[in-house]
A and B are shown apart, each in its own frame.
Chain A
Amino acid sequence: METAAKAKTSMWRNRKIKRGIFIGLMLSVGLVQFAVFWVYVNFNSILMAFQYRDAEGLHWGLEQFTKFFNALHRTGEELDIAVKNTLMLFVVGTIIGLPLNLLFAYYLFKRIPCAKFFRVIFFLPSIISSAVLVGIFKYIVATNGPVNELLSIMSGTRVEIDFLTDERMILGTSMSFWTILFYCFWTGFGSNIVLLTGALYRIPQDVLEYARLDGVGMTRELLQIVIPMIWPTLSTLLVFAAAGLFTNQGPVLLFSEGQYKTMTIGYYIYDQVKNNSYEYPAAIGLFFTAIGFPIVLFVRWLMGKIFEDVEY
């Protein structure tokens, strides 16, 4: 009896050990990668922000931050432009873009004619490389390209709008960056439409049926039924967009490499690294992470307050 019980316990222990090994092995790759490429990298990044190099070598100090704040104050110069452009990117991409994404997904959901075809068209830019899209786009809006040619034909005079390099400021942003903003707007429709369509399809059809029978029009349906019911998806999209506020480089590299007043924060950091400066961009990154994080938390809190989660 005793040996049988002992055998059973050791067999159980054996099993537990085997299971433990299994769990450990399965998680090992992901966790090691996480430890190295997330924990170590970010930790090092924070350390680097408080270092600076001079003729004697590496020192600790707040020099990078002083340099950063001084650079910020110089209005009209790179860092200042970068911050303004990055905010515009967010305004166009999320504040204008997300509601439009929802509206378009809604009309597709209402089965506008050829909805399936349009859904594919909207999604296309998301699956084609931006290297390709921007490449073609640049030659289309070039001074000797089809857009200017079309404008010339339509107006009867030679039109040569310099969409890509014009630095004149309109509403606080250069013309060349407005071109980039337009590009982001023009290619940004499909990205969220898939997720939003999924959410729309999950709304119980009978709710919509009753509403229609009650004579609820499209506006009321959208605002009072659909939006509250897909709120979890919507708020997740908004939170992710808020998280991407400062990290979003935009296609600046492909368009102009930051010239012609098209700098963004993300690209500025890349540019610094390209020029072998590491501590300075690390400090800049740390600063924007520090103000970005509370913003994300705030947006998350706000989203929770607007609508209570509907159970279905």
Chain B
Amino acid sequence: MKDTNTVNKQRWKTRPLSQRIVFVLVFTLFALYAVSMVLPFVWAFISSLKTDEEYFEKVFAWPKDWLFSNYVRAFSEFKIKNTSMIGMIGNSLWLTFAGTFVAVMTSSATAYIIAKYPFWGNKLIYSIAIFTMIIPIVGNLPAMYRLVMTAGLNNPIGILALYAGGFGFNFIVLHGFYRSVSWNYAEAGFIDGASDWTVYWRIILPQALPAIVSISILSCIGTWNDYYTPLLYLRDYPTLALGIYQFQIIMQYRSNMPVFYCATLLSVVPILIVFCCFQNTIMENTVAGGLKG
């Protein structure tokens, strides 16, 4: 990644004194925050290696034995009703990938048409897209809940309907991107006899891959972490995020803290890996398209 922010690249000694003082203060603040963010996870990790009794015995103590076996135990003991850890991971994987696929494909199709094909409804649809993002609709949960339940969409397949929306953040990003893509390639394709469909799939979409990858990753992360939708509609098919919440309720009756911490850390690891690999892509391409400045 080319570093474009060169004007701020200054040798420490050449920075004015006032700036250096501010930097020291701010750096300390940031460092304290970083510590406060990392320490809880360190503590969670250490707690995950204890026994349940040890955990409540003394707060600041190293585990007597480093029970890495707890992580294996987690797979059998981290259960919500009939769903085991593996089951929850499976539910999470399905919802994450299928949901993201549906969401990205739908918004890409919508964004592509609105960006490239001028027709009578074009401006109207775009205005609707913006409108829906600005209007603050409170309390459509009752009506939505009723619809999903009566239509029987509260299962892993039906729930995908909720993800198949053409508007929203994904639409804005992809619309901005498609706007900026040159139509010359498409025209070359048309001259060669390609259909609109072929142009989309073979010519334009591959060019949009960076943007599509970034919003897909963000969508995957969001869905993997979402506990609310499964809580409302997928009670019988809990995902890992929902399981972590529900397990705390179960623990009120039968404490099992180490296994709980194992499960939470296991759920975080895939996210961290994805983030480490795609960090630059995410942070570079997540620009609400069309905003200047």
Contact = CB atoms under 8 A, between A and B. Distances in A.
Are these two chains actual partners, yes or no? yes
Interface in A21-60: 22-23, 26-27, 29-31, 33-34, 36-38, 40-42, 44-45, 48
B166 A18 contact: no
A269 B23 contact: no
- Is chain B's interface secondary structure helix, strand, loop, or mixed overall? helix
Given A30-B107, A111-B9, A247 B293 contact: no
A233 B288 CA distance: 9
Instruction: Please name the 5 residue pairs, one residue from A and one from B, whose CB atoms are nearest each other, closest first.
Output: A285-B139, A30-B166, A129-B225, A45-B143, A292-B136
Contacts, number: 279
Contact of A136 (B40, B145, B167): B40
Interface string B241-259: 1101100100000000100
B141 A269 contact: yes
Interface in A278-299: 278-279, 281-282, 284-286, 288-289, 292-293, 295-296
Given A26-B113, A33-B166, A19 B136 contact: no
Contacts of B291: 199, 232-233, 236
Interface of A: 18-19, 22-23, 26-27, 29-31, 33-34, 36-38, 40-42, 44-45, 48, 104, 107, 109-114, 117-125, 127-132, 135-140, 144-146, 149, 186, 189, 194-195, 197-199, 201-203, 205, 208-209, 212, 217-218, 229-233, 236, 239-240, 242-247, 253-254, 265-266, 269-270, 272-273, 278-279, 281-282, 284-286, 288-289, 292-293, 295-296, 300, 309-312
Contact of A217 (B16, B26, B109): B16
Interface residues of B, number: 93
B4 A312 contact: no
Contacts of A144: 56, 59
Given A34-B165, A127-B275, A118 B30 contact: yes
B56 A149 contact: no
Contact of A269 (B40, B125, B142): B142
25 contacts: A26-B110, A27-B109, A27-B110, A34-B128, A42-B140, A104-B30, A107-B23, A109-B8, A131-B244, A144-B56, A144-B59, A146-B60, A195-B288, A202-B292, A217-B18, A232-B291, A232-B293, A243-B133, A247-B136, A281-B139, A282-B139, A286-B139, A288-B138, A288-B139, A300-B134
Given A18-B196, A131-B241, A202-B293, A247 B137 contact: yes
A289 B10 CA distance: 49
Given A34-B165, A112-B23, A236-B288, A127 B225 contact: yes
Contacts of A138: 248
A284 B227 contact: no
Nearest to B197: A22
Query: Which of A18, A113, A240: most chain B CB closer than 10 A?
Result: A113
A109 to B, nearest CB: 6
A271 to B, nearest CB: 10
Contact of B271 (A117, A128, A282): A128
Contact of B145 (A36, A202, A278, A292): A278
B33 A33 contact: no
Contacts of B284: 198
Query: Which of A137, A270, A300: most chain B CB closer than 10 A?
Result: A270
Given A132-B264, A132-B268, A149-B60, A243 B134 contact: yes
